[in-house]
């Protein structure tokens, strides 16, 4: 039997990288999980996904997601990568990057700075 003892930050070398992740693609997920800042979570079937709209104005990137009865506005950096993942319906989950990690994450990968939710069925992109 082999055992390993790891001390300090080396005990979970990928833990820091996991904190930086704002979204994850999966192989053919049936639903999308969206986690809001207040820890409210939505699990929405891709069958209700209607459209995505990407806008880049100056340094601000915005991605609008429209589901049958829910609309989400996402702001951050490198969101065009996230849009590409929505094109193939391969996003499994997304959440806001913790504020303390946003500056570090911006240098390494896309960042979700805010997620706003609207449940107005008449709201269209």
Q: pLDDT tens digits, residue range 47-93? A: 999 999 999 998 889 999 999 999 999 999 889 999 999 999 999 99
| Total number of domains constituting the chain | 1
Q: Which residues is 125 bridged to in the sheet?
A: none
The pLDDT of residue 3: 39
Q: Is residue 6 part of a domain?
A: no
Q: Is residue 62 part of a domain?
A: yes
The boundaries of the domain holding residue 71 are: 15-118
Cβ partners under 8 Å of residue 79, min gap 6: 54, 61, 62, 63, 110, 112
Q: Is residue 10 part of a domain?
A: no
Residue 119 parent element (H or E): none
Q: Is residue 1 part of a domain?
A: no
Global pTM value? 0.76
Q: Is residue 95 part of a domain?
A: yes
Average pLDDT, the chain: 80
Q: Is residue 5 part of a domain?
A: no
How far is residue 69's CA from residue 103's CA, in Å, rounded to a whole number?
33
pLDDT above 90 for 44? yes
Q: Which residues is 118 bridged to in the sheet?
A: 71
């Amino acid at each position: 039997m082999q055992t390993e003892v790891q001390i300090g930050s080396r005990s979970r070398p990928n833990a820091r990288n996991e904190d930086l992740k704002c979204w994850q693609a999966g192989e053919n997920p049936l639903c999308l999980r969206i986690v809001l800042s207040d820890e409210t979570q939505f699990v929405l079937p891709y069958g209700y996904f209607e459209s995505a709209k990407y806008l880049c104005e100056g340094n601000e990137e915005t991605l609008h997601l429209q589901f049958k009865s829910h609309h989400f506005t996402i702001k951050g950096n490198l969101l065009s990568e996230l849009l590409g993942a929505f094109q193939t319906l391969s996003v499994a989950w997304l959440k806001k990057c913790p504020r303390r990690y946003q500056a570090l994450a911006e240098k390494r990968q896309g960042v979700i700075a805010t997620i706003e939710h609207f449940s107005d069925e008449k709201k269209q992109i």
